[in-house]
Amino acid sequence: MPSDTPAIEFFQGVSEELSNVSLRRNKNTGLRSVLLIFESLNALNKFNSFTKGPSKNLRFSDSEGDITVQPSSVKFIFGGDEGDELRRVECRFDIEREDHWERFMRFMNRYAEANDMEYGER
């Protein structure tokens, strides 16, 4: 069932808070790459990663329905005095098809609006 509130989930029912996103396009191939950055994961805080088993997919849901992607990489970056504090999680995936890109961008616009995020170029 589509949700009016846009959500990003590694584990069903546990919404994550996106800290930053980077969108890139390869000039030679046209392949679009998405890098999502999370400063923390609610799934880890609630131990869902251990109780529900690993998830290989990332789900985006909004009023249009669900988008499911399989990340090409997920990096856990640790730091702190002991090196055991989670600093951020970086999740990367590529989008080849134009219609998938357009759908993803509609989701991102809804997510940004619902979470007071703004678009900016570097």
pLDDT digits (tens, 9 = 90+) for 23-64: 999 999 989 999 999 998 888 776 555 455 556 889 999 999
pLDDT more than 90, % of the chain? 63
CATH number listed for the domain at residues 7-114: 2.40.30.220
Q: Ramachandran region of residue 53, left (φ > 0), alpha (ψ -120 to 50) or beta?
A: left
pLDDT at 116 over 80: yes
Letter for the amino acid at 115? N
Contact 107, 64 (CB under 8 A): yes
Domain boundaries, the chain: 7-114
pTM score, whole prediction: 0.85
pLDDT at 122: 61
Contact 78, 86 (CB under 8 A): yes
How far is residue 110's CA from residue 117's CA, in Å, rounded to a whole number?
Answer: 10
Tell me which residue of 8, 17, 6 sits closest to 88, measured CA to CA. Answer: 17
